[in-house]
Amino acid sequence: MPTAHDYFTSLSEALGEAKLPLALEHIALLHTFITSAQMQELEDAPNPTERKKLLDIWFEGYIADPIKNLAAIIAEVREWNVLSEMAEMAKRTNQQAVLVTTAKPLSQSLKQMPE
């Protein structure tokens, strides 16, 4: 059974590094808003084409085709944990700021992040 990392690698190879952050945002969007009932309906759909049609109806075009394809595969194999793992990857990939706690106060120059 493929892992979330396998799906991530395939998606990265298919889309390229430039489009990957946007694809991960679409995964996070799908993960946030899809319901359990919708997951079940996708699992019960007879084929990938019907699954993608359902996603179009529910998300009104806000989910890109590669992510709909991914969701169709995940639904077919009933591995929804992959979606949540990939959404977590999206958070980590897009993380830009880090909070640092030190025992000694930092100087003002060290507190500022370079842009």
- The predicted-structure confidence for 76-97, as pLDDT tens digits, reads as follows 999 999 988 888 877 776 555 5
CB 87 within 8 A of CB 27: yes
User: CA-to-CA distance for 58 and 62, rounded, in angstroms?
Assistant: 9
- Structurally, how many domains does the chain consist of? 1
CB 24 within 8 A of CB 109: no
Q: Name the residue with tokens 């992040």.
A: 113
What residue numbers bound the domain in which 82 lies? 4-111
**Token pair listed for 84:** 């949540």
Cβ count near 27 (within 10 Å)? 28
At 69, is the pLDDT very low, low, confident or very high (cuts 50, 70, 90)?
Answer: very high
**Token pair listed for 71:** 């969701």
Cβ count near 7 (within 10 Å)? 20
